């Protein structure tokens, strides 16, 4: 199942067709039968009324005096094939001579699907392309360069945008002898569809300034405008706005992937009126090739603000769920109308890598694995320039860290304006690896937002790094600013006991909220939100998150996957219902998870091995200076904490292993209630708390508050 985004050809045109049969009933007419092969399955002509399909003659042939009239067309979508009967009409001596050099196998033009639904309606769609460029610095729209903005006259007529290009004062003519001598060479060149013919005939064209631009019967009039280059749409000459009895040849389509045309136009008919303008209407490209900026997609941005639209979009992803799937979205309508066939699906299998001792084999296996990823083709097509519009990537699983090089490339960074995923890991479910978190930080650094469309919270969470830290969390969009600016309090303690802590924690947090109104400390003031971080599981962690949610404090969690352990209570891995912002960790990075709590103000409750480690970690943080000396509250009976801490502290004192770090003990405060905790905090935030290396240590290894 492949995404419709992956067609190599623009969907309004076919490849060039070649002549297979010829019949010349009159000297000025040549009937040809043209075969067109390898038509993209995305070609719009397969799905619209054939009346809107035209034959677009090569402009080189039109400039030599030919016109083409499509007589009949037979499209075979299943075979990616078309047969067209076309009548070529010759105007002038050069064109009549050219008939003798058109042969079977000559490539003379292609089909164009002028789909009415794709007409550019609003002039602003084009005008906003001025001053913008593609990734190579080429302007998306220019008329004689950027200065031509004022000369491009755009009007909205009958529900479509029409540009009126002013003609230059003069006409083009030929050195007849020279151009006739060039026809045998042109004949050979027509057999090669990729050969650029225009530069050949330009050598024999002469500009005659000041000559009237009047169309003479049985002649082609060549006129010129300033060069119009447009990379975001097809242009097509509109005959109805030309003078009466004047018609443009069917070489009337300006393609978006060339800068060699857009200035010479071929007219025929009979009129005494001086032609002064060339009218052009426009047809949009496929959305992913329009070079449209994300900021211009109002509907898409509105959809992304409605989380239900994203959940619905992911429901269209094909099954089975263990397959990787991805789709690149560039407009709101596309997001709202996703079908399973729009997604790329891959069943990936990662074989063990041999390591650095076998670099060639390692590199090959890694590249093969990268190419198996569902998002690979989208990223490659962005790099190759086949996707030019900015958009978002929807992927069932967070991208493999092995995709980092592609994700952070200049071209992808320019186009990719968001990654939305449903599950962090195919193998580990909702838990991120160390490499995943590293990739998250890199994406954030490069300005690529990442969103978790999370079934657990039923919300869309944005990955948000904490300023000054090497970690972050997934946070609901409305709470991102509060998370970034927040001061973090956190709870360590057992999952097995809760005691009376809920009442005291409620009082403590409410007291801190009130304290913000009369203090002006960098970490506690009326403009700084408060966040509470727990391990996100049951027991005391659930109490903490519940209290935080109830009183309006940002409720956060660092969750770890305990499923690989046979000795721990399985309920520890279950996320409690009160978590709003979170990060997840695999069991093998349990220590790293503890280090990334990054708490400004820890609160430690009675607990077991894990709590002991967390308390020691907070000691080490203050000793080495990775965090400033802030108070740590030890909630509970002082005898309990003496049994936990005092003997170890005094043993270290006796052995001299904490020499000059004894002061760390004055950062820990044993309290029995919220009132005592608020007293410590008020002293700290007002600058009167004796804490830090300038103050003496506490003999118990912590301070007992009375």
Q: What pLDDT digit, counting tens, does each position of 84-103 carry?
A: 999 999 999 999 999 999 99
From 420, 455, 490, the end of a domain falls on 455
Quick one: pLDDT at residue 495? 66
- List, in sequence order, every residue forming a beta bridge with 573; answer none if it has no partner: none
What share of the chain in percent tops pLDDT 90? 73
520-579 pLDDT, tens digit per residue, is: 999 999 999 999 999 898 888 899 999 999 999 999 999 888 765 555 444 455 889 999
Alpha carbon distance 259, 199 (integer Å): 12
Kindly give, in sequence order, each residue whose CB lies less than 8 Å from that of residue 159, ignoring residues fewer than 6 positions away.
119, 121
Q: Mark whether 696 and 613 lie in a shared domain.
A: yes
On whether the CB atoms of residues 287 and 330 are closer than 8 A, the answer is yes
Is 215 found in the same domain as 164? yes
* 118 in a structural domain: yes
The reported pLDDT for the residue numbered 496 is 57
- Give the Cα separation of 260 and 199 in Å (integer): 8
Of 289, 322, 338, which residue constitutes the final position of a domain? 289
**Domain match, 227 and 318 both:** no
pLDDT at residue 143, rounded to an integer = 83
Predicted TM-score of the model (pTM): 0.88
CATH number at residue 411: 3.40.140
Q: Is 613 domain-assigned?
A: yes
Q: Cα separations (Å) of 360 from 355, 356, 369?
A: 10, 9, 14
Pair 13, 30 in one domain: yes
Q: Are 373 and 424 within one domain?
A: yes
Q: Identify the burial level of 402 via C-beta atoms within 10 angstroms of its C-beta, where 0-12 means exposed, 13-18 middle and 19 or more buried.
A: middle
Q: What is the pLDDT of residue 80?
A: 93
DSSP H helices in 110-166: 123-127
Q: Structural domain tally of the chain?
A: 3
Residues 231 and 88 in one domain: yes
Q: What is the mean pLDDT of the chain?
A: 90
Which structural domain range is residue 57 located in?
4-289
Least confident among 123-137, 297-311, 579-593: 579-593
Judge contact between 443 and 457, C-beta under 8 A: no
pLDDT for res 560: 85
CB 462 within 8 A of CB 451: yes
Residues 3, 343 contacting (CB under 8 angstroms) = yes
Q: How many CA atoms lie within 13 A of 100 on its CB side?
A: 10
Helix axes 540-551, 501-515, angle to 10 degrees: 40
In a domain, 460, yes or no: no
385 and 499 co-located in one domain: no
Query: For residue 588, what is the domain's CATH number?
Result: 3.40.50.450
User: Is the pLDDT higher at 463 or at 626?
Assistant: 463
Secondary structure of 612-669 in HEC code, one letter for each residue: HHHHHHHHHHHHHCCCCCCCEEEECCHHHHHHHHHHHHHHHHHHCCCCCCHHHHHHEE
Over residues 629-669, the pLDDT tens digits come to 999 999 999 999 999 999 999 999 999 999 999 999 999 99
Residue 296: inside a domain: yes
Task: Kindly indicate the confidence band of residue 367, based on its pLDDT and cuts at 50, 70 and 90.
Answer: confident
Assess contact for 630 and 684: CB atoms under 8 A: yes
Are 344 and 378 in contact, with CB atoms under 8 Å apart?
Answer: yes
- 143 vs 674 pLDDT, higher one: 674
pLDDT at position 589 is 58
Residue 1 has pLDDT above 50, yes or no: no
Residue 177 forms part of a structural domain: yes
pLDDT at 257: 73
Q: Which residue has the higher pLDDT, 638 or 591?
A: 638
Rg of the Cα atoms in the chain: 36
Q: Are 502 and 540 within 8 A, CB to CB?
A: no
For residue 447, is it left (φ>0), alpha (ψ between -120 and 50) or beta?
left
- The answer to whether residue 609 is domain-embedded is yes
The residue-averaged pLDDT of 252-272 equals 84
The whole-number pLDDT of residue 691 equals 96
d(CA 566, CA 553) in angstroms, rounded, equals: 35
C-beta of residue 377 within 8 angstroms of C-beta of residue 6: yes
* 296 and 284 part of one domain: no
Whether residue 326 lies inside any domain: the answer is yes
The conformation of residue 25, written as its DSSP 8-state character, comes to: E
φ, ψ (nearest 5 deg) of residue 252:
-115, 15
Q: What does the alpha-carbon distance between residue 498 and residue 320 come to, in Å, rounded to a whole number?
A: 42
Q: What is the pLDDT of residue 138?
A: 82
Are residue 505 and residue 399 in the same domain, yes or no?
no
Per-residue pLDDT reduced to its tens digit, 184-221? 999 999 998 877 777 788 888 999 999 999 999 999 99
Three-class HEC string of 241-271? HCCCCEEECCCCEECCCCCCCCCEEEEEECC
| Same domain, yes or no: 669 and 628 | yes
| Residues 366, 494 share a domain | no
Q: What mean pLDDT do residues 324-332 have?
A: 95
For 366-421, give the DSSP string: HHHHHHHSTTHHHHHHHHTTS--S-EEEEEEEPPPGGGHHHHTSHHHHHHEEEEEE
Kind and range of the H or E run holding 502: helix 501-515
Residue 586 shares a structural domain with residue 496 = yes
Q: Select the more confidently predicted residue: 227 or 34.
A: 34
Query: How buried is 291 (Cβ within 10 angstroms: 0-12 exposed, 13-18 middle, 19+ buried)?
Result: buried
> How large a percentage of the chain has pLDDT more than 70?
93
- Whether residue 609 is predicted with pLDDT greater than 90 in this model: the reply is no
Query: Pick from 455, 478, 501: which residue ends a domain?
Result: 455
Residue 463 domain flag = no
């Amino acid at each position: 199942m492949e995404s419709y985004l992956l067609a190599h050809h623009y969907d309004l045109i076919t490849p060039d067709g070649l002549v297979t049969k010829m019949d010349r009933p009159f000297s000025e007419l040549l009937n040809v039968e043209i075969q067109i092969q390898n038509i993209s399955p995305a070609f719009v002509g397969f799905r619209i009324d054939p009346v809107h399909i035209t034959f677009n003659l090569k402009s080189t042939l039109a400039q030599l005096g030919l016109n083409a009239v499509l007589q009949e067309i037979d499209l075979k979508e299943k075979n990616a094939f078309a047969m067209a009967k076309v009548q070529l009409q010759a105007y002038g001596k050069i064109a009549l001579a050219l008939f003798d050099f058109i042969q079977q196998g000559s490539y003379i033009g292609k089909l164009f699907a002028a789909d009415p639904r794709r007409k550019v309606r609003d002039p602003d769609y084009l005008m906003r392309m001025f001053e913008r460029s593609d990734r190579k610095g080429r302007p998306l729209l220019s008329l004689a360069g950027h200065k031509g903005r004022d000369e491009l006259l755009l009007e909205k007529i009958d529900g479509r945008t029409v540009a009126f290009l002013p003609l230059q004062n003069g006409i083009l003519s030929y050195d007849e002898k020279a151009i006739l001598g060039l026809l045998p060479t042109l004949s050979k060149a027509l057999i090669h569809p990729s050969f650029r013919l225009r530069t050949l005939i330009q050598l024999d064209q002469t500009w005659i300034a000041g000559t009237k631009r009047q169309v003479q019967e049985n002649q082609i009039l060549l006129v010129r405008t300033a060069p119009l280059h447009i990379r975001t749409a097809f242009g097509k000459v509109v005959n109805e706005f030309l003078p009466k009895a004047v018609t443009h040849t069917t070489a009337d389509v300006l393609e978006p992937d060339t800068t060699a045309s857009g200035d010479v136009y071929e007219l025929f008919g009979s009129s005494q009126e001086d032609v002064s303008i060339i009218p052009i209407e426009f047809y949009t490209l496929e959305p992913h090739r329009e070079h449209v900026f994300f900021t211009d997609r109002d509907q898409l941005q509105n959809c992304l603000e409605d989380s239900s639209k994203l959940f619905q979009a992911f429901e269209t992803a094909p099954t089975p769920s263990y397959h990787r799937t991805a789709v690149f979205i560039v407009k709101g309508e596309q997001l709202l109308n996703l079908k399973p066939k729009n997604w790329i699906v891959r069943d990936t299998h990662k074989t063990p890598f041999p390591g650095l001792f076998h670099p060639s084999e390692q590199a090959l296996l890694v590249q093969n694995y990268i190419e198996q990823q569902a998002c690979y083709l989208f990223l490659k097509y962005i790099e190759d320039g086949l996707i030019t519009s900015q958009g978002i990537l929807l992927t069932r699983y967070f991208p493999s860290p092995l995709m980092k090089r592609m994700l952070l490339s200049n071209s992808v960074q320019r186009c990719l304006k968001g990654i939305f995923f449903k599950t962090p890991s195919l193998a580990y479910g909702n838990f991120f690896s160390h490499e995943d978190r590293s990739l998250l930080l890199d994406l954030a650094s490069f300005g690529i937002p990442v969103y978790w469309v999370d079934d657990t919270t039923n919300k869309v969470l944005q990955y948000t790094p904490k300023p000054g830290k090497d970690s972050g969390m997934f946070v609901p969009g409305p709470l991102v600013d509060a998370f970034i600016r927040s001061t973090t309090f956190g709870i360590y303690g057992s999952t097995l006991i809760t005691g009376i802590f809920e009442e005291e924690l409620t009082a403590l947090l409410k007291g801190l909220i009130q304290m913000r109104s009369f203090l002006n400390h960098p970490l506690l003031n009326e403009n700084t939100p408060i966040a509470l971080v727990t391990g996100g599981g049951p027991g005391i962690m659930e109490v903490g998150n519940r209290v935080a949610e109830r009183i309006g404090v940002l409720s956060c969690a660092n969750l770890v996957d305990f499923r690989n352990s046979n000795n721990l209570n399985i309920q520890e891995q279950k996320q409690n219902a009160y978590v709003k912002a979170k990060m997840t960790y695999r069991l093998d990075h349990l220590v790293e998870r503890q280090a990334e709590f990054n708490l400004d103000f820890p609160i430690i409750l009675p607990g077991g091995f894990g709590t002991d480690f967390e308390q020691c970690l907070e000691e080490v943080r203050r000793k080495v200076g990775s965090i400033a000396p802030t108070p740590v509250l030890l909630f509970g009976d002082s005898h309990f904490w003496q049994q936990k801490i005092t003997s170890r502290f005094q043993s270290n004192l006796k052995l001299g292993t904490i020499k000059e770090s004894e002061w760390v003990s004055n950062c820990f405060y044993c309290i029995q209630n919220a009132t005592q905790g608020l007293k410590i905090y008020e002293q700290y935030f007002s600058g009167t708390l004796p804490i830090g290396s300038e103050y003496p240590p506490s003999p118990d290894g912590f301070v007992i508050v009375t």
